[in-house]
Structures are given as C-alpha cells and as structure tokens.
A and B are shown apart, each in its own frame.
Chain A
Amino acid sequence: MKKKEIKGLAAFELLGGLDDGMIMESILPEKAPTFSLAPKKRSPFMGFMNSGPGAAVAVTVVAVAVSLSVLAGLVLVGRITGILPPIQELGHDTQAPPTQTRPDIQNGVILPPVAQDPSAESSQLAVLSDGIKVNPKGYCVYISGQQIDADGELVHFDGDGPGAANRLGEIMDEIPSLRTGGNVYTLQLPPGMVARRLRVFAVSQTQPLVFETILDESAETDDAEGLLQHLTELRDGRYIVVLNVFYSSYASENEYKLGEDEYAFSLTVDSFVDPEAPVRIMNGDTTYFLEGYTLEKIYYDAEQKKEIVQKYDGAQGILEEPVGELPTAMVERGDSLFLYLAPFYDLRKVTIFYGDLTRWGEMGYDTPLDDFSTWMEAGDYYFVITAVYLGTGESEILEFPIHIRLVEEPKE
C-alpha cells in the first residue's frame, strides 16, 4: 500500500466521526447493484469466459449493465461509472429490430445473445466519452501521414492515401477522434455485436502497440472494472484504438451466421485534475505542464527507466511581466505540439508574439497547433492562451502565457 493510501485509510477511518446529519444528507437513493463477473484471476492480457459466439456477446457486455434493458446495445466501461445514461441522452436511434431479444445478464445469468435482424440498418460503432458521441461510417487509421496496417505495423507512405486496400478499411475518411479527461471510457456496440479483440497503439514510431486484449474461449474473465483497466492507466497522449468485433445476423429463421469487422478511433488522453493548472502542452513524449505558471517538464528517461519531472519556476502575469522568467517549452522542427485545456475551460484564442514581443497574430479554437513547428520559423515565441472558465455556472476569462522556443537542431 502506498504511503498516500495508508494516510487516506487513516483519514477515512477518522471521518467515521462525522455528524449524523452530514452522514444522512449525503446518502444516495439505493439502486440495483451493477452486474460484474466474479474475479477469477488477473493476467496481463484479459480474456473472457467464452463458451461460444453466443455467450461472448453477453460476456462482453459485462462492465456496467444496469441499464441494459434501456440500451439497445452492449457496453464496455473503462472505469467505474455506476449507472449508464439512458439511451435517449446518448442520441442513439433506440428503435430495435423487431426480432431482437436483449440479453439478460442480471444476477450473473448469461442468456443467449442478441440476434440481429438483417433488415436493420448496418451496425455502427458509437464511441462516447464525456458526452462526446461519434458515429463513424468507415475507418482508416491515419497518424500524421503514417498508417497502421492489419498487422499493427506502422507503414509510412507518401501522398494522400495508403495506396493498396488494406484490412483496416477502404474508406479514406479520417477516423473519428475521441478526447477524454480520463473519467469514463464507454464503448457501445450495437445489438448482436461482440468485442473480440482490442488493440491500443501509441502514436509512436518506436513501439506502437501499447497493449492488446483478446477474447479467448479458454481464458477466464477478470472483473468488470478490469475489463478496460489498461485504458484508464494510459499516460496522457494520443492513441489509436482498434476494435475487432464479431457480429451475428440471421441467415434464416433459426439460423444465424457470424461475421467479423474492425473499427478504429483515435483517443487523446489528458488527465487534468487540477483546476489551477488548466493548460498543458504536449510535444511528442514530453509534457509541459503549467501549474500556476510553474512549468513542469515530464518525460521518460530511458537510461534511468523512469519518468523525470523537472520544475521551472516562472513569473506570473502576462507579457508585460519580465518574459525571461517564463518557463520555456522546447520544441524542435518536426515536433507536433498539442495544446490541452482542462475540462470546463473553453479556448477562445491563442495570441502569438515573437520573441521581441512583436505581435505575430491570433489563432482561433479551430486552428490546430499540431504542426506549429512546420510552419513557424525557428526562434522564441510567446503564446498567450485566452480561455473562459465555465465551471458550474461560473464564467471567467483567464490568460496563460507560454514561452516556446523552436529550434532547428535536435535537442541534446
């Protein structure tokens, strides 16, 4: 147990002395317990009890099952969420095919799978997080000019498309993007669709495959919370998630057949928790984290095999203050720069100044900073981030200065 957790346990015990009134006023209405599989064992690669295609459907549902009678699909949940929102709120088409039966997994009983009416609209994968919903019509994994092929290898290519057709799909639309504050990862699959394999790739040339989970007939299940455990442990950064699914459809009245498909989406993870530190810039594997204008540079040191945090003290205020004391984010040519704002912070504009404080110009919310290093000349810049803090009904305009040094030569 870590020291913080031991301290926390003592504090948790101490809070037993709270007043009756405080205890009673904070009791939530009782609800039916959520379904979860009894944990059998933990393993790096999680599998599921799968006695056949039928059982696989309901097993995958697992995670958070309370509202299944409301939801038309199956749900995987990456972190503890409690009750899922009713499907109306998700904006899904809730009309179920006439022949559909929904799986009943209450009390641990797994019934036969949902069969899909072939006349129903083709299945779509909906990815939800923090209220964002995406319905992709097709998929093709693009990472800034690179592509992940069917074997999980990064393939470089020139031009606008990947060339030959590949298993990941022929539709060249950019895959949907998902950004999460680290709260809830929710994948919703349509009826009759079963998650078979989940692969997560980091946007990295060195070791793209971060982890993989395979639904194996012989593997035992872990508890629901562990199902997408790895997703919740992802470091801040950008990832590509590829999900293989099985789906069933009716071949005749009493017969269904299985097919296989793949879906992909990009996932950006940023775990802002500190409302005093709303701005974060990521440059490849290095994160510049502004906390009250004190910059922390977080990077992985391969020699020491651990994350290093370097702190730089910075002066408060906007550019009228001595800018030399502002923390500096080092960016080299070709780096992609990502600017993240914490939840409830709404970006209004980014005002850019040259090193001599001459105004360069402004960028609105829609202008990405990703390729900043490709179109700016080397030198010093000051980005003043103007954001509105929305919070819970509050509204406040804030400005955060960042000093960025763009260099031509690689960092030593």
Chain B
Amino acid sequence: MEQDYARASTRDGEIIELFWQRDERAIRLTADRYGGLCTHVAMNILGNAADAEECVNDTYLKAWNAIPPSRPSVLSAFLIRITRNLALDRFRAKGRLKRREGLTVMLSELGECIPAPEEGGAEELMGHIKTFLAAAEDTDRKLFVGRYFHAYEVGRMAEALGLSPNAVSLRLHRTREKLRVYLQERGYSV
C-alpha cells in the first residue's frame, strides 16, 4: 500500500511538473489517469453524460490555469474539487434541481444538519465539521463524505462497503444527527 502511494505520488509529481513546464502532455496524462474519477464526480451531481463531459473538460482547463502557481500535494483531490465546483455551478445555472431527485434528497438531508455559514464564518464552521469527522468512526466518516461530498447514492455505497442500504441510511442518519447536536453545542443554529 505504501509503495503504491509512493508510486502514485511520483506519477502525480511528474504530471504536476509537466504543468509547471507548460507541457500539454500534462492534460493528456491527467485525463488518462483521473478522467474517469472526475467524470464520476460530475455525473453524481449532474446526472447527465453530456454535461459531465463538458464539466470534466473545463476541469482540465482550470487545472492548466491553476498550476502553476499551485503545486497540489494530492493531484486527484485537487481535480475532484475543481470538478465538483464546476458541476455545482452548472447545476445551479441550469436549474437542474427538479430533475435530480436523488440529489435533492441528499441536499435536504445535509440542510438539516449543517447551517448556512454566516458572513466570514465559513472557515470556522468547516473547522468544526472537520474535527467532528476526524473523531467519527471510519465507516461513518467514509459514508458521510461519500454521500455529502462525492454525492454517491446510498445503494452504491452499500454495495461497495458490503452493507445493506438500510444500514447505510441508518448510519448516515445517526452521523447527521450527531453532527447537528455537535454544531448546536458550539453555538450554531441548525
């Protein structure tokens, strides 16, 4: 596992170096290596292959414009974030909410446990959420992040983790409830 990580890091390092050298092979290698991952992220949010493809292409452009000056330590996470944000922008712009029932359910769930951050308070709120998640059980954290960052469906996570969909729903519910209470204890109104 550590060797794989080291190899991956090396390959990411090589790709990032190509970005810095403004060598367009960086885009091709990024697409080869992380295109599928980014597509899945976009599809989870947009649910439409054509939109997802555009989103992923925009990701490469954004990455090209961001590196340099950025030198991300984990290229995949860096790309996922870009794709996710682009997908969200496109989602909002096209008013797709009504068509993505699965997503609206997920967003409703999230809206019940995390308050809207006040002006200038996003960083502090995020800090609390990270602290909470870091202390949570591994599986609960993976499920929470899987659902509310990657927008995975319950069924997919259940299958991947060898749990029943019921068990996943129950665990997500409990984690949301604990997070809600955790944030309330820290003065947030949820």
Contacts and interface: CB of A to CB of B under 8 A. Distances in A.
Interface of A: 1-20, 22-31, 33, 39, 79-83, 85, 130-131, 181, 183-184, 225, 229, 273-275, 343-344, 391-392
8 contacts: A4-B107, A4-B108, A11-B111, A15-B114, A23-B150, A83-B159, A130-B165, A344-B170
B110 A82 contact: no
B90 interface: no
Contacts of A29: 160
A273 B170 CA distance: 7
A221 to B, nearest CB: 15
A275 B81 CA distance: 33
Interface of B: 36-37, 40, 43, 49, 73-74, 76-77, 80-81, 84-85, 88, 92, 97, 99, 101-102, 104, 106-117, 122-123, 125-126, 129-130, 133-134, 138, 141-143, 145-146, 148-160, 163-167, 169-171, 173-174
Contacts of B134: 22
Most chain B CB inside 10 Å of its own CB: which residue of A4, A23, A83: A23
Contact of B97 (A1, A11, A13, A28): A1
Given A23-B149, A82-B155, A33 B108 contact: no
A23 B107 CA distance: 18
A11 B141 contact: no
Contacts of B122: 14, 17
A378 to B, nearest CB: 38
For the complex, would chain A's binding face be called helix, strand, loop or mixed by DSSP majority? loop
A12 B88 contact: yes
B88 A26 contact: no
B170 A27 contact: no
Given A4-B107, A27-B146, A131-B164, 18 more contacts: A1-B97, A2-B108, A4-B108, A5-B97, A8-B107, A8-B109, A9-B88, A9-B92, A11-B111, A11-B113, A12-B151, A13-B85, A18-B145, A24-B74, A26-B141, A33-B49, A343-B170, A392-B163
For the complex, would chain B's binding face be called helix, strand, loop or mixed by DSSP majority? helix
B159 to A, nearest CB: 5
Contacts of A181: 166
Contacts of B141: 22, 25-26
B112 to A, nearest CB: 7
A20 B74 contact: yes
Contact of B73 (A4, A7, A20): A20
Contacts of B77: 20, 23-24
Contact of A184 (B37, B143, B157, B165): B165
A15 B117 CA distance: 11
Closest 5 pairs between A and B when the two form their complex, measured CB to CB: A8-B107, A8-B111, A82-B156, A7-B111, A11-B114
A11 B145 contact: no
Given A28-B152, A28-B156, A28-B157, A11 B116 contact: yes
B32 to A, nearest CB: 14
A16 B85 contact: yes
Nearest to B52: A33
Given A29-B160, A225-B102, A275-B173, A23 B145 contact: yes
Contacts of A343: 166, 170
A183 B166 contact: yes
A68 B54 CA distance: 29
A4 B145 contact: no
A181 B146 CA distance: 22
B99 A39 contact: yes
A379 B129 CA distance: 51
A4 B166 contact: no
Most chain A CB inside 10 Å of its own CB: which residue of B40, B134, B156: B156
B174 A30 contact: no
Contacts of A28: 146, 150, 152, 156-157, 160
Nearest to B77: A20
A84 B108 CA distance: 26
B141 to A, nearest CB: 7
A273 to B, nearest CB: 6
Nearest to A182: B169
